[in-house]
């Protein structure tokens, strides 16, 4: 399909620096904590993340292991959400989806091997932040579950690279096609001639 695209489209590369994405992720935690934490605090009157963790460690020595398992599972689910969403839009479904790890930054990835329309790609890129970040934050705010709030904060911040890639393409015309870069964090865009 790429050969057909090259005949009618101009190809451009759009990538992000993973080191910058990691820094952006850390900086992103400040507004995320404010956006999620302020309503939580106003409703429930407390927001003692450290105290909750210290108390949990005291009560259950296996708590740190549970935290690591939940975080690792969440990272896997984050990539699976990308894969499922991209597969819904891809002509060849899951046959077009590949999972792996960029070893130089120890960053897991989901790669869609066929081009998608720009809006489809954006939906696939944003879904983990919505499913693992925004939705758990709303549930945490309404239920008072501080652990779910921490999970939501972490996995919204973990989507920093996704936000950066979306920022590279969101102003593109609806007819623009996007193809994941096979070895870098980013994509190729194909603009109609």
Residues 6+ apart with CB under 8 A from 152: 36, 132, 133, 134, 135, 136, 137, 140
Q: What share of the chain is helix, strand, coil (3-state, %, to 5)?
A: 65, 15, 20
Q: Which residue has the tokens 């091997």?
A: 113
DSSP E strand boundaries for the chain: 9-15, 97-102, 107-112, 116-117, 177-180, 186-192
* Residues 162 and 16 sit within 8 Å (Cβ to Cβ): no
- Domain positions in the chain are 2-192
Gap between the Cα atoms of 168 and 136, Å rounded = 27
Gap between the Cα atoms of 60 and 54, Å rounded = 10
Distance of CA 107 to the CA centre of its chain: 12
Render each residue's pLDDT in the chain as its tens digit; 193 residues. Answer: 444 545 788 999 999 988 888 899 999 999 999 999 999 999 998 777 777 778 888 888 898 899 999 999 999 999 999 999 999 999 999 999 999 987 877 778 899 999 999 999 999 999 999 999 999 999 999 999 999 999 999 999 999 999 999 999 999 998 899 999 988 889 999 998 8
Would you state the structure tokens that stand for residue 133, as one six-digit string?
């970040």
């Amino acid at each position: 399909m790429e050969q057909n695209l090259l005949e009618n489209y101009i190809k451009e590369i759009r990538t992000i620096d993973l080191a910058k994405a990691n820094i952006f992720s850390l900086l992103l935690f400040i507004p995320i904590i404010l956006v999620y934490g302020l309503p939580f605090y106003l409703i429930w009157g407390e927001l003692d993340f450290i105290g909750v963790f210290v108390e949990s460690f005291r009560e259950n020595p296996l708590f740190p292991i549970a935290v690591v398992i939940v975080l690792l599972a969440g990272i896997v689910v984050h990539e699976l959400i990308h894969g499922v969403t991209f597969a819904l839009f891809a002509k060849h479904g899951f046959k077009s989806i590949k999972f792996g790890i960029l070893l130089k930054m120890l960053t897991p990835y989901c790669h869609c091997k066929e081009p998608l329309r720009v809006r489809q790609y954006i939906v696939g890129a944003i879904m983990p932040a919505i499913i693992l970040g925004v939705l758990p934050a709303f549930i945490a705010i309404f239920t008072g579950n501080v652990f779910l709030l921490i999970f939501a904060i972490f996995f919204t911040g973990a989507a920093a690279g996704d936000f950066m890639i979306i920022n590279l393409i969101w102003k593109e015309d609806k007819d623009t096609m996007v193809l994941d870069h096979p070895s870098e964090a980013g994509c190729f865009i194909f603009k109609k001639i």
